[in-house]
Structure 1
Amino acid sequence: MTADQSDNNILVAPLNWGLGHATRCIPIIVALEENGFTPILASDGVALAMLRKELPHLQTLELPSYEIEYAKNGANFKWKMLKNTPKMIEAILKEKKMVKKWVKQYNLIGIISDNRLGVFSKKIPSVFITHQLNVLTGNTTWISSKMHRFIIKKYTECWVPDQAEKPNLTGKLGHLKNPDDRIRYLGPLSRLRKLNLPIKYDLMVILSGPEPQRGMLEGQLREDLQRYSGNVIFISGKVEAKQRKEEIGNITHYNFMTTEQLEIAFNESAKVLCRSGYTTVMDLAKLGKKAFFIPTPGQYEQEYLAKKLKKDGLVPFAKQENFRIENLLEIDIFKGLPEMETPIHWKQLFGLFEKE
């Protein structure tokens, strides 16, 4: 059934900040369809391009870009974000107007926003997805967290993709001392499944995130991996019109992979080298994989997750400027992420959108 014919349309709008927000929405989108709803997808940039490739049968809409860009120097990350704030506010105001129009135009009965701050409506149930109830920004954490929770209060519910109790993956990022009753913990979300496949690669490298840091790390690792003797599959995380595959010595390079291809690649790899973005952390937990993290320079959330998981004895990490390929030997000293399989009661969760 198309969106034009359906009276069960739900707008699903992930933030375009790398691919993580969009990919973690895929299990929700699939579950919506399985429960009789018609998802309409909205985003911009590479996140929208990826959703169109993954779910070509669904209607997609384009939202204005927040124009998120990392600083070349991680120490300047916060100031770069502050400089971009006026553009971001402009985009949020634009998307609020667009969503107001779409509620009528597409007969929406619900909204699910993954960190898009202007995608909500007072007229229909609206959900905000985040793993950051506390937004870490160094000495300004108190104000950034307060502002974020002020935004969350505009939504009917807030869904956190983590466990409510310990052990959990987000620590203080996703947990408050006095949680609001609108907060619901889903358990970790992943579009991947654990498969019983033989190991083909000693190492999987998977990159993501906005430029220029994604490209800077790719260049660094291409050079470092010349000293690595095992078989490597290297996914650059660049969503382009056509998939490209290139084999250079012991390394198989891809610009991007579909969900199905990624699922096989993860399962066929002994170890993973990646950013410590939360979506990747959830994927690794779902698959029970051992990994090594290189947090994005200056991104407090990724640095916190990497430090937390190292302190828990699960995954080692190194700063980007300090990383050497020999650091991968540390992986065997750590336990690896434990498999976290939390059944999600979708029918109960989606009861929010049921018409009375």
Structure 2
Amino acid sequence: MKRVLVAALDWGLGHATRCIPVVRLLRERGATVSLASSGEAGVLLREEFPDLPYYELPAYKPYYGHGPWMMITMAMQLRGFNQSIRAEKKAMYELMDAHHFDVIISDNRYGCWSAKATSVMITHQLRIPFSFPWNWASGISARLLKHLLRPFDHIWIPDLPDGILTRAFMTSTPVRSIGWLSRFQPGEADIKYDVIALVSGPEPSRTEFAQVLKEQLIESGKKCLLVLGQPGKPYHEKTGAVTVTNHLPSALLEAAIRSSALVVARSGYSTIMDLIALGKRAVFVPTPGQPEQLHLARVLQRQQVAGAELQEKFDLNKLLKSEQRYAGLSIFVPDHQLLHQAIDDLLK
């Protein structure tokens, strides 16, 4: 019975949520699983698996600037990110010394590896597809990520082998496709809400997005649910036909999304995978300053799969009138056997 540590990045909730199906399958296969993360991602994992050992890791705490200042703001934080990676390495040394894990599965935590264990990295990008005028930075990002990934024995990509969503993020580095990862399962439900809006991501854009959504959802007069994505902070209110809550556990969130006609959310990779699993219609609003989210939103819009709009131009009524032209994420068919095969090979 192998001892496995699953470590998720705290950069929003998506890295933690997509680790949930990995942890579930590891436990089904008889592995002894422990968890590690920080911040709200750690709160979510402890809520989902209250019976598993949990270890706190250093937090990243990213901050995004606006418009042309975004790249400068991120560049100024690189030293802090490097310090977080070094702190992760120190934490992993101490955890390995105390618990002797056989396998470490890290979701985008580049310091969570050990030469004494089989180290696996889950990531959906080996390069960042920056847009003009920052497109020159894509090559730099590829070289940096290649260097950071060098200590890992395996790189797992949560996509299908043909790279439907990740093609622009890939390089020549050898990887294994493990299929889309979602904590949710397909299913039908009666429609209860016209719109469910999901808020996620770092500040200050998270709070700004929540305020815009709340105002426009109330003005629409439709029955809506707004989930602020802040686990561990109880809050619930109802204004007219709009219900606002800070957080929903996975089972309740899954039921709420199923019973909603339309989902408005960030175009984070994990959010997209969750909505593929549920086959929902969606409008994506990329987090300002995240080129990856902008790219994914544009790809899905060009493919006539889902609507997309910039946060500063967000107009709910306009989007509601046009969303019927999109096919919805039900056109994508997941392949769950890819993850099963990867886990089975890892635990041999």
Contact 2:177 2:338 in 1 (8 A): no
256, 261, 273: which one aligns with 2:247: 256
Q: In the alignment, which residue of structure 2 is the partner of 1:164?
A: 161
Contact 1:287 1:339 in 2 (8 A): no
Matched, 1:25 2:19: yes
- Distance in 2, matches of 1:74 and 1:170, equals 25
Aligned-residue CA RMSD in angstroms? 1.5
Question: Once the two structures are aligned, what percentage of the paired residues are identical?
Answer: 36
Q: What is the SS of the residue equivalent to 1:108?
A: coil
- Distance in 2, matches of 1:313 and 1:106, equals 49
Deviating more after overlay: 98-107 vs 337-346:
337-346
Q: In the alignment, which residue of structure 2 is the partner of 1:201?
A: 193
- Distance in 2, matches of 1:169 and 1:288, equals 16
Structure 2 stretches lacking a partner, 5+ long: none
Q: In the alignment, which residue of structure 2 is the partner of 1:308?
A: 299
Q: In the alignment, which residue of structure 1 is the partner of 2:71?
A: 78
Contact 1:35 1:347 in 2 (8 A): no
Deviating more after overlay: 325-334 vs 266-275:
325-334
334, 337, 340: which one aligns with 1:341: 334
Q: In the alignment, which residue of structure 2 is the partner of 1:328?
A: 320
Following superposition, the deviation at residue 352 of structure 1 comes to 4.9
56, 62, 65: which one aligns with 1:62: 56
- Distance in 1, matches of 2:168 and 2:193, equals 35
- Distance in 1, matches of 2:271 and 2:339, equals 22
How many aligned positions are there? Answer: 342
Following superposition, the deviation at residue 128 of structure 1 comes to 0.4
Note the alpha carbon deviations across 1:112-150, whole angstroms, 9 max, x for none: 000001000112110001011222343211011121122
Structure 1 stretches lacking a partner, 5+ long: 1-6
What is the letter of the counterpart of residue 130 of structure 1?
Answer: T
168, 183, 186: which one aligns with 1:191: 183
- Distance in 2, matches of 1:345 and 1:304, equals 25
234, 237, 246: which one aligns with 2:229: 237
287, 310, 314: which one aligns with 1:319: 310
TM-score (norm 1): 0.92
Q: What is the SS of the residue equivalent to 1:42?
A: strand
Contact 2:197 2:265 in 1 (8 A): yes
- Distance in 2, matches of 1:212 and 1:15, equals 19
Pick closer, same or farther for the CA change 1:170–1:39 going to 2, 3 Å: same
Q: In the alignment, which residue of structure 2 is the partner of 1:289?
A: 280
146, 151, 159: which one aligns with 2:148: 151
Q: In the alignment, which residue of structure 1 is the partner of 2:89?
A: 96
87, 100, 108: which one aligns with 2:80: 87
Q: What is the SS of the residue equivalent to 2:64?
A: coil
What is the letter of the counterpart of residue 145 of structure 1?
Answer: A
Pick closer, same or farther for the CA change 1:318–1:38 going to 2, 3 Å: same
Q: In the alignment, which residue of structure 2 is the partner of 1:226?
A: 218
TM-score (norm 2): 0.94
